[in-house]
Amino acid sequence: MEINNRLRHKISGYRSKWGYPFFRNLASVLLWMLLLVPSAGFAQKKEIQLAKDQVKSGKNLPQAQASMQKLLADSANQNNKKIWNLYFDAVRKQYEQGNEKLYLKQKYDTAQLFNFTRQLFEIAQQFDSVEMVPNKKGKVEIEFRKQHADYLSHIRTNLLNGGLWFLGKKQYADSYKFFDRYIDCANQPLFQSYDYSLKDKHLPLAAYYAVYSGYKMKDPKATLHHSYVALKDTVHYNYMLQYLAETYYLEKDTARYLASLKEGFERVPTFPYFFPRLVEFYVDINQLDSAMAVVDKALTIVPDSDTYLVAKSNILFEQSKLQECIKVSDKAISVNEELADPYYNAGICYFNMAVEQDKSSQTSRKVREQVDANYRKALPYLVKYRKLQPDEQSKWAFPLYTIYLNLNMGKEFDEIDKIMKKR
């Protein structure tokens, strides 16, 4: 009897603690869940239909856009053309509604309108890349390229205008995105029938503004990205070289930095950016002859330029060519008497000559007279330099102290002595 009961229990299946067979209870739960929760496919179809209705009515468009973005975030939907097309249309409708409001001179967010423009290009290009993926049969079926390209080609100038608008607001990261998108159209299969790389005359200008935006962001990658195209913009070529030079400097690319400076100076020697930095570069690496060659070339173009004359005076001073330095310094002063460096250079040249003469172990009366004469010649230059640069005590205090001492100028010496003691 007991054996039969055990057998009957095995045949009827294991029961739950409520007394029902376990497999029957599980089936009931699953059936209950299926009845209460709609299938994922049904929910998705419903969401797509809702977005379609919203686009058609032109209402709740941001909601339609967001729902399609959400669906596309699922990798399972990445190749769903219906979703991509609805996404594009939801943004397109918003762009058109905003454009209409601006046309009717109604209040509307200009930045938003431009951003819708950029989004349309981004969506269409992503969608186009999806269409280029072969289907299960290995066939590529491109359905929407022509209609999207035709539509976008008519509003593409708004990418350029949007970039300029954000540039005017000094929002350089945003302006870069617009210029970058405008230029990138020339490389996209979506627009291959338009041949922008050959036919669009605005590409170099857009590239220049992209470089400028990257430069203002201090982003070397963004600055250099479109530099090749930007250099075709002859109107802004000199500025392009400047931005490139500064970017190479930030990147510590010495060779390209120097090359940009040299090219810029060769093209336009009078352009204010290249000359001082090229001279400074050679001075810093102690190639004074190369620095002087740059200065001399500049002086053949503008012989009376105070900038070039001061640069030459400074280099001659570094080379210890005292007499030449005094001569050039005097010429620079005659051109612009408010420049400080020529006074200092000429004064110290005379001062150094006096000090060197005074070192002689056999100081004759004649030598003494020469020493005093050079101190006297140095004096007016250094007094003027002190007047122009009163905060540069480290440069003028000791030479003036020495001169006043040697020329027995008691009143002046006492005044400078007090200054020296306070230092």
185, two tokens:
């159209």
pTM, rounded to two decimals: 0.80
The whole-angstrom separation of Cα 412 and Cα 386 is: 13
Cβ contact 345:325 at 8 Å: yes
The whole-angstrom separation of Cα 149 and Cα 193 is: 9
Q: What are phi and psi of 133, to 5 degrees?
A: -75, 125
The whole-angstrom separation of Cα 164 and Cα 213 is: 10
The four Cα atoms 15, 19, 20, 23 give a dihedral, to 10 degrees, of -20
Give pLDDT < 70 ranges for the chain.
Answer: 1-41, 361-363
| Predicted local distance difference test score (pLDDT) of residue 40 | 60
| Predicted local distance difference test score (pLDDT) of residue 136 | 83
Whether residue 388 lies inside any domain: the answer is: yes
Number of CB atoms found within 10 A of residue 249's CB: 18
| Predicted local distance difference test score (pLDDT) of residue 12 | 45
Cβ contact 371:387 at 8 Å: no
Whether residue 350 lies inside any domain: the answer is: yes
| Predicted local distance difference test score (pLDDT) of residue 363 | 67
Whether residue 348 lies inside any domain: the answer is: yes
Whether residue 21 lies inside any domain: the answer is: no
Whether residue 365 lies inside any domain: the answer is: yes
Q: Which residues contact 328 (CB under 8 A, 6 or more apart)?
A: 309, 312, 313, 316, 342
Cβ contact 123:87 at 8 Å: yes
| Predicted local distance difference test score (pLDDT) of residue 38 | 56
Neighbour-count burial of 75, counting CB atoms closer than 10 A to its CB (0-12 exposed, 13-18 middle, 19+ buried): exposed
The whole-angstrom separation of Cα 67 and Cα 202 is: 37
* DSSP character string of 284-353: HTT-HHHHHHHHHHHHHH-TT-HHHHHHHHHHHHHTT-HHHHHHHHHHHHHH-TT-HHHHHHHHHHHHHH
Cβ contact 179:207 at 8 Å: yes
Whether residue 157 lies inside any domain: the answer is: no
| Predicted local distance difference test score (pLDDT) of residue 9 | 45
DSSP β-bridge partners for residue 15: 21
Whether residue 352 lies inside any domain: the answer is: yes
In terms of residue numbers, what domain contains 399? 334-423
Whether residue 260 lies inside any domain: the answer is: no
Cβ contact 342:329 at 8 Å: yes
Cβ contact 343:337 at 8 Å: no
| Distance of alpha carbon 357 from the chain centroid | 55
Find where tokens 């280099």 sit.
Answer: 315
| Predicted local distance difference test score (pLDDT) of residue 359 | 83
| Predicted local distance difference test score (pLDDT) of residue 23 | 44
DSSP label at residue 21: B
Q: Which residues contact 132 (CB under 8 A, 6 or more apart)?
A: 140, 142, 189
Count how many domains the chain has.
1
